[in-house]
Amino acid sequence: MSKQLAPPDARGEPPSTVDEVFALLRAQGGRATPSRRILLEILFETDRHLTAEELATAVQKRSPDVHLSTIYRNLEELQKLGVVTHTHLGHGPVTYQLAAHAHAHFICEQCGKRVEAKDELFRDLARKAKRELGFTVDPHHVAIFGRCSDCLAS
Amino acid sequence: MSKQLAPPDARGEPPSTVDEVFALLRAQGGRATPSRRILLEILFETDRHLTAEELATAVQKRSPDVHLSTIYRNLEELQKLGVVTHTHLGHGPVTYQLAAHAHAHFICEQCGKRVEAKDELFRDLARKAKRELGFTVDPHHVAIFGRCSDCLAS
DNA sequence: TCCTTGTTGCGAAGACTGTGCAACTAGGTA
DNA sequence: TACCTAGTTGCACAGTCTTCGCAACAAGGA
């Protein structure tokens, strides 16, 4: 399946169970496979941001033969569905999470520490960017860099 | 050379010519080599964000034997000096620019369009990040993702 | 049960970045 | 100026992360 989809926002509430995702998947011509079910279960069970590699390891605990490339392909499908998003945290691999769990990050460019940020912090920026530049901010996709308090002190 | 340096801010005005960078370099035990001079010339001549690959191509126009790995190593040294910074633009390779040329920008994650942003837009975010998370946002090392007006319309 | 077509495992390739090493050279010293 | 030391370079290769081609497999409708 590779049909173009409406943006996730246009479909109201995000699915909150694996079966709801599968319903969405089938509605788009996709299929409910064991590897997808396990991948989704893991994503629903965690709040953490996981790399493709970490997801593969977790999936393989329940079903050893699932290949890393299958993880990548499933993640791509789930992103097209709007169920999953990815985040670039600077150096290192991309991390994935349920779209419903997404949030912004600050990363210390000295020690690498990650700090999660509420969307509220971006409200003023988003409003001004929209008004002055016509730009709609998505603060979740790429982390913001700077210095944490510890590194600044040293 | 690989000495630890004070943060760039502690050294006052950033160098504004290649020779000033070289003075800084020598003060840290580094050497003024042709490949570094050319690399710096190119960085001083452009406002754009260039990838290591693009920089290598540009350097090689003036001195064909400079190797890509030399570019990477020189960029790393110049970053340690605080002369150069890099920015993660999400997908694709890291881009480099003079620290003095760095500016915040918005990037459309659909069409890739870059919109430069005044630091002023980030003031509120920076203040809240500092107060609530102890995090000092680097206003010159920020790429915010989202959608430009054109892509949002389509 | 059969058929169609979406999915998968596997291997390999690709993009980007870093590293080990021997040869070279910048720049200080005698 | 000649010499020496240690920083730098070219090159090849390795490593990490991600994507792709292809034949075999299987989900789910007919």
DSSP string, B11-28: G-SPP-SHHHHHHHHHHT
Complete domains list, chain A, with CATH: 8-99 (1.10.10.10), 103-153 (3.30.1490.190)
The tens digit of pLDDT for each residue in A128-143 reads 999 999 999 999 998 9
Under a CB-based contact definition with an 8 Å cutoff, are residues B76 and B84 in contact? no
The tokens 């050379």 sit on which residue? B1
Structure confidence at residue A12 (pLDDT): 59
pLDDT in tens, B70-124: 999 999 999 999 999 999 888 889 999 999 888 888 888 878 788 888 888 999 9
For A1-49, what is each residue's pLDDT tens digit? 433 334 444 445 778 899 999 999 999 999 999 999 999 999 999 999 9
Specify which residue's alpha carbon is closest to the C1' of nucleotide D9. Answer: B70
pLDDT tier, B31 (very low <50, low <70, confident <90, very high otherwise):
very high
Contacts of residue A145 in chain B, CB cutoff 8 Å? 88, 137-138, 141-142
What value does the mean pLDDT take over residues B36-60?
A: 96
Residue B149 CA to residue A131 CA, distance in Å, equals 11
pLDDT at B3 over 80: no
> In angstroms, what separates the C-alpha of A64 from chain B's closest C-alpha?
30
pLDDT of residue B111: 81
pLDDT at position A13 is 72
- The whole-number average pLDDT for the span A145-154 is 87
pTM over 0.85: yes
Cβ distance A80 to A118 under 8 Å?
A: no
In angstroms, rounded to a whole number, what is the distance separating the alpha carbons of residues B100 and B11? 13
Phi–psi pair at A90, nearest 5 degrees: 80, -130
Give the tokens for residue A62. 């329940």
Report yes or no: B5 at the A interface, CB cutoff 8 Å: no
Residue to mutate among A105, A116, A127, A142, with most B CBs inside 10 A, is: A142
**B135 and A142: CB-CB below 8 Å?**
no
Contact B122, B142 (CB under 8 A): yes
Nearest to B65 by CA among B95, B20, B33: B33
**Straight-line distance from CA A121 to C1' D19, in Å?**
36
Per-residue pLDDT, A1: 43
Note the CA–C1' distance, B153 to C16, in angstroms: 34
Mean of per-residue pLDDT scores for chain A: 89
Residue A4, CB-side half-sphere exposure with 13 Å CA sphere: 1
Nucleotides of C under 7 A from a protein CB: 6-12, 15-20, 25-28
Query: Rg (Cα) of chain A, in Å, rounded?
Result: 17
| CA-based nearest residue to B139, from B90, B112, B99 | B99
Residue A43 CB in 7 A reach of strand C:
no
Cβ-proximal residues to B65 (8 Å cutoff; 6+ apart), any chain = none
Whether residue A60 contacts residue A75, with contact meaning beta carbons closer than 8 Å, is answered with no
pLDDT of residue B10: 43
Angle at A35 between CA A32 and CA A37, to 5 degrees: 55
> A144, A147, A152: which to substitute to probe chain B, counting the most B Cβ within 10 Å?
A144
pLDDT of A65-79, one tens digit each? 999 999 999 999 999
